[in-house]
Chain A
Amino acid sequence: MTAEQIIFLIVGAVTLASALMVVTARDLVHAALWLVAALFGVAIVYTLLNAGFLAVVQVVVYIGAIAILFIFAVMLTRRQAAKDTGPALNQNWWLGALLAVLTFGGLVALLQTWSGFSKTASAIPSGFDAVNELGTALTSPAGYVLPFEVASVLLLAALVGAVYLAFNKK
């Protein structure tokens, strides 16, 4: 077993354990902090996949913006300490658990029938600059400039919508 595989197994186990804590932790602030741990694990997985730029974006956008936004929302929607004692899960949680296990089993069973399932990665050609290629692909008309522009319109619409929804009219 190579060092890379050991790192992957440790990171994968920590990520999955943190994800389980996210969905089971009673205190929502704890759940949001466990989400930060799971997102860091995913950032390390990106690094193992030679996508360093995406790992940086993951830390800046997901952990720096989205996770902090969650913590703000949890603190703004806290009920009085005495009232906040209901169960964390609804009464149909076992059905959700069953469906999640079935989804996992189904996905793994389906993937195992695919011939490329246990394929290994070919080496990255020397002189290949992934960040340069990504920037070119995002901005060239022959590449993905249209989805890129649509994403900017989507972000603007979400910005306006979020301000409008959360605005206090009084």
Chain B
Amino acid sequence: MSDFGITTKDVGEGIVVIKSAKLLDNNNAHEMVQAINAVQGRGIKFIIIDMTDLQFISSAGVGSILGTVESSREMGGDIVLAGPSETVIHVFRVLDLLDYLTIKGSEQEALAFCGAHNKV
């Protein structure tokens, strides 16, 4: 995978995983928005953004998530950030976003969260 490539995977039960590449910055933040919007447009309520490979997130990358999370929540779902590193978490912490975002330590935890909430 390139440093900027973003891929989307349906995992069933109304959950989609969008995998971020190493970098989420001005080069590809628009692709993340497009990927999220495309999934939301299909009526998918729960999106997991797999951040396990993400090494750097810029303000544009943060904005790509913040600008779309509310739409998922209005649908009764959420955008769940899976496996972000401490580096990425620190950026969210500086922006006082840890209380606003749903963050799980791994894709498995994120899937469990989505699955549990999808049944409600």
Q: Do A and B come from one complex?
A: no
Interface positions of B (Cβ within 8 A of A): none
